[in-house]
Structure 1
Amino acid sequence: MHGDSGWSFPATSALDAAVLLALFSGVFLVGWARARHRYVDAVWGSAFALVAVVTLTLSGGHGDTARKVLLTACTVIWGLRLSVHIAWRGRGAPEDPRYAAMLSRAGGNPAWAAYTRVYLLQALLVWFISLPVQAGMFASGRSAVGTVLLAAGFGLWLLGLGFESVGDWQLARFKADPANRGRLMASGLWRYTRHPNYFGDACVWWGLFLIAAGAWPAALTVASPVLMTWLLVAGSGKPLVEAHLSETRPGYADYAARTSSFLPRRPKAKD
């Protein structure tokens, strides 16, 4: 620790990594003991919130106070909402087929495969994607451009949080109706994009980046929202969900043909 000014950014970021390692290692022990690796999904959002709180606490006198508070509040609100939603949605559910399939293909020690390919990977992703939040806490001063970016970023964050929250709520209501068992959700926000929750997530992280990017060091972390967007659009998000839905939901091909894959827009008219 460096006097009253708080920890340095490198030291704080290194501690964030250590905290994430401890968190995901603990979740691994619980998941392995209960044969439910899906628990890690509910920890994802909370892990970002934890990084934000730890970074704010250790940053001391570094950085711009308004930016620090906004980054922390936005990250915590988004992360806790997501964790609660995923935990509630998955209560009593069996193992996630993604993890079951991964472990069935893994050679060698299955525990080591799960720990490295699921838990350590997610810890690394949380650390890297949260770099705008970490760096933004240490960015000093705020120019007129920085203030505009802060306001724009907060607006984009609000849009993203609202979009994914409403989309999740609409889907939860749809699934709660027994009459919709086996049917495809294609109304509400899901009429304009096949993935309102993923679109919302992308907006949240681009918004957080803009809030932080008003100061030069934090502007260098643009790779973080790029990676998050890639994961949602082409990585472990959209492709896996769509592959599952195409096999389990009749009419999915027709829905996909007329509905935007990511960015919201008016659906195409039926032929």
Structure 2
Amino acid sequence: MTATGNTLVKCAAVDLAVQWLCWAAAAALKSEKFYDLAGSGTFILLAHLSRIWGGAAHVRQKVQTGLVTAWGLRLGTFLFMRILKDGQDRRFNGVRDSPGTFFVYWSIQAVWVFMTLLPTLMLNSEKGDVPLGMRDYIGWSIWGLGFVTEALADQQKWLFKRNTENAGKFITSGLWAYSRHPNYLGEILQWSGLWLSASSVMQGPQHLSVVCPLFVWFLLRHVSGIPILERQAMKKWGSNPAFQNYVKNTPLLWPCF
């Protein structure tokens, strides 16, 4: 087995071990409160372990690992604070009391972590270095745009919901005036930018890891993100003319200025 393959296998094993141990604790407590925190924490852990196991510490690897860490700390903290305030995550209604179904959710999170992080794991497993170039700077700029977009969108919605005058209302201000899901747009941009930088050292079939940012887009756009929230919004405000107008005039994901 190649050094890269060995690192990927070890990272996959750690990923599964963390998620399944957390599932055991969550199932016993019948709580999903640390689900997202465990996910983001695993991203950070694997990014650093892969760089240690890869045995090299080039600038690109350090920056990539640092950006993953910044993403994980911000999003993990935000989601954990949100669920502490809300008390529960509606995604797990009818699930937290079923250990078997709960196990599936934690296992899916393991797949999400590994697939999303794969380009970074591949990069950190490379001992050879390539001088920094335009691809890196563009990739990191895209990541930065995505980070600011996601953080700002999350903060805007958080403040909107904290205002008691907005109880029962939907947000249409700030970034939410240009996209109905700007936080997910930021998420997609971040992982796309990290893939672009990591691709600087990729060779041949490794470029197929472009499926990783596409996987993030597909998951959020067609599976666990936007479809669920859109159904909930239509159920809650679908008969509201103001909401109908918002849906009609505001892009689902990609803004159109």
Structure 1 residue identity aligned to 2:172:
A
CA drift of 1:29 comes to: 2.1
1:35 and 2:30 equivalent?
A: yes
Give, in whole Å, the separation in 2 of the partners of 1:39 and 1:52: 20
User: Mapping of 1:11-26 within 5 angstroms?
Assistant: 11-26=6-21
What do the CA deviations read for 1:123-173 (whole angstroms, capped 9, x no partner)? 022112211001111342325xx6111111000000000000000111111
Instruction: Give the 5 Å matches for 1:172-187.
Output: 172-187=158-173
Q: Give the superposition deviation at 1:84.
A: 0.2
User: Structure 1: how far apart are the matches of 2:163 and 2:25?
Assistant: 32
Specify which of 230, 249, 264 is matched with residue 255 of structure 2: 264
Unmatched tracts of structure 2, length 5 or more: none
The answer as to 2:157 corresponding to 1:171 is yes
Which whole-Å CA distance do the structure 1 matches of 2:245 and 2:77 have between them?
Answer: 32
Q: Amino acid of the residue matched to residue 79 of structure 1? A: G
Which among 207, 231, 251 is matched to residue 243 of structure 1? 231
Q: Could you tell me how far 1:252 is from its partner in structure 2? A: 2.8
Equivalent residue letter for 1:229: W
Q: What secondary structure is seen at the aligned counterpart in 1 of 2:209?
A: coil
Note if contact 1:199-1:263 (Cα within 8 Å) is conserved in structure 2.
Answer: yes
CA distance in 2, matches of 1:51, 1:90: 24
Q: After alignment, is 146-155 or 82-91 more displaced?
A: 146-155
Q: Distance in 2 between matches of 1:25 and 1:123?
A: 9
Shift of 1:38: 4.6
2:185 equivalent to 1:199: yes
Counterpart position of 2:220: 232
Partner residue of 1:65 out of 49, 53, 58: 58
How far apart, CA to CA, are the structure 1 residues paired with 2:85 and 2:73? 20
* Deviates further, 67-76 or 18-27: 18-27
Shift of 1:17: 1.1
Name the SS of the counterpart of 2:212 in structure 1.
helix
Residue matched to 2:73: 80
- Deviation, 1:216, is 2.4
Q: TM-score, normalised by structure 1?
A: 0.86
CA deviation digits over 1:79-115, x for unaligned, max 9?
A: 11110000011105344232224578xxxxx312211
State the one-letter code of the partner of 1:129: T
User: Does the CA-based 8 Å contact 1:38-1:99 persist in structure 2?
Assistant: no
Give the C-alpha shift of residue 56 in structure 1: 1.0
Deviation at 1:71, TM superposition (A): 0.9
Q: Which among 37, 42, 45 is matched to residue 47 of structure 1?
A: 42
Cα distance in 1, alignment partners of residues 87 and 112 from structure 2: 25
| CA distance in structure 2 between the partners assigned to 1:25 and 1:200 by the alignment | 29
| Residue matched to 1:119 | 106
**Structure-2 residue corresponding to 1:4:** none
Deviation, structure 1 residue 30: 2.5
**Cα distance in 1, alignment partners of residues 25 and 95 from structure 2:** 18
With over 3 angstroms needed to count, the CA separation of the structure-2 counterparts of 1:161 and 1:211, relative to structure 1, is same
Q: Does 2:142 match 1:151?
A: no
* Runs of 4+ residues deviating >6 angstroms: none
Uncovered stretches (5+) of structure 1, i.e. residues with no partner: 1-6, 105-109, 267-271
1:248 positional shift: 2.0
Q: CA deviation at 1:264?
A: 1.8
Compute the TM-score of the two structures, normalised by the length of structure 2: 0.91
* Structure 1 counterpart SS, 2:93: helix
Would you say the 8 A contact 2:83–2:89 is kept in 1? Answer: no
Distance across 2 between alignment mates of 1:213 and 1:102: 38
Cα deviation digits, residues 178-203 of structure 1 (max 9, x gap): 00011010000000001111000000
CA contact (8 A) 2:43 2:113 kept: yes
Decide whether the 8 Å contact of 2:7 with 2:125 is kept in 1: no
